Amino acid sequence: MAHRVTGVLIFFFLFVHVLDTALVRVSPEAYDNVVATYKTPIVALLEYGLVAAILFHALNGLRVIAVDFWSNGPRHQKTMLWAVVGVWVVLMAGALYPVLGHAAREVFGG
Q: Residues at the annotated binding site?
A: 57
Q: Residue 14 to residues 21, 53, 60, 97: CA-CA distances in angstroms? A: 10, 13, 20, 24
Q: Which residues are annotated as a binding site for heme?
A: 57
Whole-angstrom distance, CA of residue 7 vs CA of residue 81? 17
Q: Is the dihedral of CA 86, 89, 91, 93 positive or negative?
A: negative
Backbone angles phi, psi at 27, to 5 degrees: -150, 100
DSSP-based three-state secondary structure for 8: helix
